[in-house]
Structure 1
Amino acid sequence: MLIPHANLCPFFVPTPSSLSYEDCKATADWLLTQTDMRPTVGIVCGSGLGGLADLLKDQVAFNYKDIPNFPQSTGHRPLSDPEGKLITLPMRIFKLLGVQTVVITNAAGGLNQDFKVGDIMIIKDHINLPGFAGNNPLVGPNDERFGVRFPCMSDAYDRDLQQLAMEVGQELGYGDFLKEGVYCVLGGPSFETIAECRMLHLLGVDAVGMSTVHEVIVARHCGMRVFALSLITNLAVTDYDSEEKANHEEVLQAGKQRAEQMERLVSSVALPERS
């Protein structure tokens, strides 16, 4: 099952801040009645990477508006959802559908000086910078039916899948542009300032973006394995004399150029029977 993940949403969406276990189960049960398929892998598509859907056979598609209790977002993250509870709702529904592994892709800005536009970074760890101020999707009452109160995040990204991806990438001839590193999430929707980029670089961040981390936290809370990739679609600006400026069109264009190879890598790791 795939969930497209659009970027950039400065719009207010009047929806509840969270949904109960019963609400999530009602949504999952509705989806299960609409198809005989029983997914074991869930994929979240980042900006410009929606072509992953074309890899799936016997597709069954649903409009968000038809799915009970599903958030009607017009983009990256509704401002009425500061902790990211709505964008992580699909993770809990994945769990109740029987999904065991979640694959997440995103478009990110490269901070590592060795990265180039078009590189694919296997995420080995993350920094939830908004979390330092209490912005965490697990804030609030915990329902043990989803997961424990204080879930471990030292193994947030499945190491076996990371190793498999590196091996598969080498076999596919991706060695020149397949990297691994630490991803940091910021709130967006504005891109980072030069000072922010310099700070993140000092913290050991390799790539920065506006998504993924909240979904990963909830997926791990639910006990699912996580594998995540960042497509480096622009290089973060760290020089005040630079004329470069980050823009969303650049992100989408870079996504188009490398999307096919990224999709092949994902399919070989997560959907080997379809690659």
Structure 2
Amino acid sequence: MEPYYAEHIQESAQWISDRIDRRSLDIGLVLGSGLGDMAAQVEDAVTIPYERIPHFPVSTVEGHAGQFVIGRLEGKSVIVMQGRFHYYEGYSMKKVVFPIYVMKQLGVRSLVITNAAGGMNRTFQAGDLMLITDHLNMTGDNPLIGINHPELGPRFPDMSEAYNREYRALAKQISEQIGHERNEPVRLQEGVYAGISGPNYLHPAELTMLARLGGDAIGMSTVGEVIAASHAGLKVLGISCITDMAIGEELEPLTHEQVVAVANRTKPVFIELVCRFVREVSV
């Protein structure tokens, strides 16, 4: 890691802390493409654009507002990333995960990470949600390469349960409750997320390869953030919104607009699931 990386994290966290009236935050949420509207659920919100925060990168992707929303959600004190950073934007992996460490410095102990993803598992369909059980880091990089700052985490962090089992069990229980109330089952899958660098959508042969390696969904985010979260000792719930099917042998053309459109259709159930999880989880 960069020589002054830990100092920059502390300076960013202090700058944010000076502008909010909360001593500590409970839960961090990272909102992916088309899912940023969830931030509207936050009460007593303070909004801080990333561009104002010292040492912060700026989100450049359509559908990502590029700001923190800090306030109360379902009785918990939360900090919401309304838009994230991606390796394909030209940022180093260290910059991509920088906000994760800042949230830890602000007191966050639990993290909900969301994304829009393509479904590689043939039993999935567009509009499903997927609880991430594990991931394949296919980005070719790792945010922990370089100098390790012990105050951020150990040199060799364990990744045996990067996606918390208890959090997944709670999310499944909540989804069943929602389905019962709506009289319509929530299509909640479980699977392995394959994270790639992007920005291009993959070729058919590449998708076929990743499916054979055990990937159930594919996207261009999340893996670096979860590695950093595990390094920092945070418990993680990861949820993918399956916005399209990415079956190598049956691949059809895809645009970012299509991804956002499906995420928008899935949004009501997705928001309800995450909000109830925030309410019921112990942190």
Please, what TM-score do these two structures have when normalized by structure 2? 0.85
Q: 1:272 offset after TM fit, Å?
A: 3.8
Inter-CA distance 18–195: structure 2 relative to 1 (3 Å threshold): farther
Structure 2: distance between partners of 1:157 and 1:175: 24
1:51 maps to 2:57: no
Bigger strand share: 2
Displaced runs of 4 or more, over 6 A: none
What is the aligned partner in structure 1 of residue 146 from structure 2?
A: 140
What is the aligned partner in structure 1 of residue 263 from structure 2?
A: 255
Structure 1: distance between partners of 2:252 and 2:59: 31
1:195 maps to 2:181: no
From 56, 59, 67, give the equivalent of 2:53. 67
2:117 touches 2:219 (CA, 8 Å); kept in 1?
A: yes
Structure 2: distance between partners of 1:98 and 1:259: 28
1:28 maps to 2:13: yes
Could you tell me which runs of 5 or more consecutive residues in structure 2 were left unpaired when the two chains were aligned: 62-85
Specify the SS of the correspondent of 1:271: helix
What is the aligned partner in structure 2 of residue 185 from structure 1?
A: 195
Specify the SS of the correspondent of 1:141: coil
What is the aligned partner in structure 1 of residue 178 from structure 2?
A: 172
Overall identity of the aligned pairs, in %: 39
1:181 touches 1:205 (CA, 8 Å); kept in 2?
A: yes
1:209 maps to 2:195: no
Q: 1:175 offset after TM fit, Å?
A: 3.7
Specify the SS of the correspondent of 2:215: coil
Structure 1: distance between partners of 2:251 and 2:96: 34
Specify the SS of the correspondent of 1:58: strand
Aligned-pair Cα RMSD in Å? 1.8
**Amino acid of the structure 1 residue aligned with 2:46:** V
Specify the SS of the correspondent of 1:246: coil
From 152, 157, 162, give the equivalent of 1:156. 162
What is the aligned partner in structure 2 of residue 12 from structure 1?
A: none
1:116 maps to 2:125: yes
When structure 1 is superposed on structure 2, of 72-81 and 228-237 the one drifting more is 72-81
Q: Deviations over 1:217-253 (max 9, x none)?
A: 00110001111100000000422xx472122111000
Structure 2: distance between partners of 1:243 and 1:30: 46
Specify the SS of the correspondent of 1:165: helix
Q: Deviations over 1:105-158 (max 9, x none)?
A: 00000000000000000001001012xx4x100000000000000001111001
1:236 touches 1:246 (CA, 8 Å); kept in 2?
A: no
Structure 2: distance between partners of 1:18 and 1:172: 47
What is the aligned partner in structure 2 of residue 10 from structure 1?
A: none
Structure 1: distance between partners of 2:127 and 2:207: 19
**Amino acid of the structure 1 residue aligned with 2:51:** K
Could you tell me which runs of 5 or more consecutive residues in structure 1 were left unpaired when the two chains were aligned: 1-15
Q: 1:164 offset after TM fit, Å?
A: 0.3
Inter-CA distance 95–243: structure 2 relative to 1 (3 Å threshold): closer
Specify the SS of the correspondent of 2:240: strand
Please, what TM-score do these two structures have when normalized by structure 1? 0.87
From 80, 86, 90, give the equivalent of 2:99. 90
When structure 1 is superposed on structure 2, of 198-207 and 66-75 the one drifting more is 66-75
Structure 2: distance between partners of 1:19 and 1:157: 29
Structure 1: distance between partners of 2:216 and 2:251: 22
Specify the SS of the correspondent of 1:267: helix
2:178 touches 2:186 (CA, 8 Å); kept in 1?
A: no
2:204 touches 2:251 (CA, 8 Å); kept in 1?
A: no
